[in-house]
Amino acid sequence: AILALHPDCVVLHVTCAASLMHAACRRPPSACVAAMVLGLTYLFGAPVFAQNIDGGRSELPGMKQDMFDMAQKQKKVGGQRRSRGPPDCPKSDKMSPFWGLAFVSGELFVKVNSTESTCSRLLTVGGANLTVLTNASRTCGPAGEVKKRIAEDLSAVFFQAGLDWVKHENEMIEIVTEEGTFEVPVNEEKWAAQSECWARGCDCEQAKNPIGKAMLWTLLFVAIGGLVADSAKLSLEKVRGKKPQKHVECRKGHKMEEVKLCRTHVCDVCRSLGTCYQCSVSCPYDMCKKCYKEAKKKAKEDLQAWYEKHPEEKAKDEEKKKEKKAKKGGASEAEDSDGDTGKEGRAESEAESTAKADSETGKESQADSSKPDEETDKEAEEKAAEASEDKQDSK
């Protein structure tokens, strides 16, 4: 009676099991064994049996369930979670009213009469346009198979949209296209032909794109040509060998240039502090003076060995050097002629300026020389006047 009132209380189960086993000690061995089995059943099995509070009556069909029953169900289910995606679509009947279809720029083009007929834009099928079919197709199944369900599982799409679909094969359905209204049968033969070609457009003119195909073929030919050219170049280098560079380069093939001494930079060759050369581009590659000289010497030796094996390359390089020198010589002569004319003009201007300066200095010297003469004459006149005055006073 206590267990019936409190089925979830483990302490009561243990107490009852202990009392049964204690009472079994005063009975015959068979009764003792039976009591022990009954006590263990109460001890370990009662919590499992206690899940059904009402004895399982709420799980019978037609019985109402309250919040406590729902809580018990959630305990049984455990940590399982419902998927957030749409449910699975109903099974398709594998029938279609179209011989072929193609999705082009948000429109649906179908073949109504036969596989050889032209495609026309679909307005409605069974009273549903493409928007209704698309929305219904999104309510079930994987999210990325909306068009596939319209093409291969049209009956399931009609069921999801709540529309009427044919009940047996070769039943007629109304199709409205740009060319008019048609009553066509729905059968499995059309579905088989459509399911094979709809992914490729079913040879509809609207799905063909000659400009796009031409561009793709052009890109393919360009890629193949580049691949062939690179392969030929690499094979030629393996046969003849690659020409060494004249200058010291970094790991990426950029020329090294001399810079000011950087005491905090580390040489990437010998790992010593203090570098005088770095990459002419933006590579973090530095070299000390010693390593640069060694690399320069090695580059010269490799280039000389290459010239010995390929003298024609040496002749080509010498011709290029001569052409560069000739171009530089012509440019320097033009600069020299321009400099000579400039120098002559400068000399003339300097002569004119010196003549003007000399004339100005002569005038200043004459003015300066005339000034002391006038001053001496005035002093002599003053002295003569003073002498005459003294004579008059003495008289």
Average pLDDT over residues 292-297: 91
**Helices assigned H by DSSP within 241-310:** 289-309
Q: Which residue has the higher pLDDT, 21 or 259?
A: 259
pLDDT at 291 over 80: yes
Predicted pLDDT at 349: 56
Distances (CA, A) of 323 to 310, 311, 369: 21, 19, 68
Identify which of 4, 36, 34 has the alpha carbon closest to the alpha carbon of residue 21. 36
Report for 20-34, 200-214, 230-244, 288-302: range of highest mean pLDDT = 288-302
Q: At what angle do helices 29-40 and 10-24 cross, to 10 degrees?
A: 170
Element housing 122 (H / E): strand 120-125
Beta bridge partners, 182, equal 175
The closest alpha carbon to 250, from 279, 228, 273, 221, belongs to: 279
- Which single residue is written with the structure tokens 């000739």? 326
- For residue 255 the two structure tokens come to 């020329």
| Res 164 pLDDT > 80 | yes
Single-letter code of the amino acid located at 160 = Q
Helices (H), the chain: 2-5, 10-24, 29-40, 46-49, 67-77, 130-137, 146-152, 154-161, 188-197, 210-240, 289-309, 311-394
- Residues 242, 313 contacting (CB under 8 angstroms): no
Query: Do residues 306 and 243 lie in contact, with contact meaning Cβ atoms separated by under 8 Å?
Result: yes
Indicate whether 253 pLDDT > 80: yes
Cβ–Cβ under 8 Å, residues 177 and 110? yes
18-32, 40-54, 74-88, 338-352, range with greatest mean pLDDT: 74-88
- Give the pLDDT band of residue 238 (cuts 50, 70, 90): confident
Buried b (16+ CB within 10 A) or exposed e, 357-395: eeeeeeeeeeeeeeeeeeeeeeeeeeeeeeeeeeeeeee
Is the CB of residue 75 less than 8 Å from the CB of residue 51? yes
**Is pLDDT of 350 > 60?**
no
Sequence-distant (6+) residues with CB within 8 A of 103 are 109, 147
Q: What is the mean pLDDT of the chain?
A: 76
Joined together, the tokens standing for residue 343 give: 């120098």
Residue 302's pLDDT band (cuts 50, 70, 90): confident
173 burial type by CB count under 10 A (0-12 exposed, 13-18 middle, 19+ buried):
buried
Tell me the backbone φ, ψ of residue 342, rounded to 5 degrees.
Answer: -65, -40
**What secondary structure, in 3-state letters, does 146-207 show?**
HHHHHHHCHHHHHHHHCCCCCCCCCEEEEEEECCEEEEEEEEHHHHHHHHHHHHHCCCCHHH
pLDDT of residue 130: 93
Q: Is the pTM of this model over 0.85?
A: no
